[in-house]
A and B are shown apart, each in its own frame.
Chain A
Amino acid sequence: DAGITQSPRHKVTETGTPVTLRCHQTENHRYMYWYRQDPGHGLRLIHYSYGVKDTDKGEVSDGYSVSRSKTEDFLLTLESATSSQTSVYFCAISGGQGVRTEAFFGQGTRLTVV
């Protein structure tokens, strides 16, 4: 498996609190992605990054922000968590050595907002 670590793996938080999920890679891949997975919706792109400090919005970016201050880390922040953000969040990486490749996925973070 590619060297991708998501933390935490599980989290329960209260509505209105800020939450930060971390994705750490050891593969030096250029591109990093955050997806959420919900039944009936597949994987929906939240935000992605194409380099350090270079990020862009995906399909469902409202309520989320990201930061990438170094190649290996991509942080996803829920500024004020809502119940609709209860989901499984996956980080993915691609683009080793700057070449477009398939994406490799982390193990996922199950977030429950109560």
Chain B
Amino acid sequence: AQSVSQHNHHVILSEAASLELGCNYSYGGTVNLFWYVQYPGQHLQLLLKYFSGDPLVKGIKGFEAEFIKSKFSFNLRKPSVQWSDTAEYFCAVISNQAGTALIFGKGTTLSVSS
């Protein structure tokens, strides 16, 4: 079945550590890719998005992600995390093979200790 997979359920890091969260999707065709963040008790906010062009996209708060089409991946990275990055992170995909629905992965909880 077509899906979006986030490999890490819970990641625990110390401040200043580097972060990489994995995201793979199984949809073919043309895809639009997103990473969202949800801080405790809040709604989802967009971190970054890929529609076309440069596969390395930069988002807010120092986050970036790389689209690797051959690997069906869109991994999220940040060189140095802060305590305030503690949140849940969701990868999402729109595929022209999946209609107009925006499909999410199950999310990764990031806990950063100071």
Contacts and interface: CB of A to CB of B under 8 A. Distances in A.
Interface residues of B, number: 22
A57 to B, nearest CB: 9
Given A35-B104, A102-B34, A56 B43 contact: no
Which of B32, B46, B100 has its CB near the most chain A CB atoms (within 10 A)? B100
Contact of B94 (A40, A44, A100, A106): A100
B90 A43 contact: yes
Contacts of B92: 103
Given A48-B101, A105-B43, A42 B94 contact: no
Contacts of A31: 100
B12 interface: no
Given A43-B90, A102-B34, A106-B43, A94 B104 contact: no
A103 B43 contact: no
Interface majority SS (helix, strand, loop, mixed), chain A: strand
Interface of B: 6, 32, 34, 36, 43-46, 49, 51, 90, 92, 94, 99-107
Closest 8 CB pairs of A and B: A42-B106, A43-B104, A42-B107, A105-B44, A105-B43, A50-B100, A102-B46, A102-B49
B43 A107 contact: yes
A45 B101 CA distance: 8
A3 B36 CA distance: 18
Nearest to B45: A105
B102 A45 contact: yes
B43 A45 contact: no
Contacts of A59: 103
